[in-house]
Amino acid sequence: MNKNMGNNDRIIRTLVAVVAAVLIVTGVVKGVLAIVLGVAAVIFVATSAVSFCPIYAVFGMSTCKVPAKEKQPLS
């Protein structure tokens, strides 16, 4: 499992998860929407912790910065 999430992506996901948690805890969001947001928040925190997003892997995406030695020269 290779990392495919950059730092900015991880920070944004964590902030979204925190906002969702605050909305749920304060009662602003209730019912089914609260459950959906809670599950999404847990998934965001988990993927941020391991720097791997399975959906990115399926589509061959990555938000990690490519190290300078692996960059292709502009032709």
Q: Give the pLDDT band of residue 74 (cuts 50, 70, 90).
A: low
Nearest-angstrom CA–CA distance, 50 and 19: 20
pLDDT digits (tens, 9 = 90+) for 18-50: 999 999 999 999 999 999 999 999 999 999 999
Entry pTM:
0.78
> In this structure, what token pair is assigned to residue 65?
């910065």
Model pLDDT, residue 39:
97
Residue ranges covered by each domain of the chain? 7-63
> In this structure, what token pair is assigned to residue 16?
């979204």
Model pLDDT, residue 1:
76
* Interacting residues of 60 by C-beta distance below 8 A, sequence separation 6+: none
CA-based radius of gyration for the chain: 16
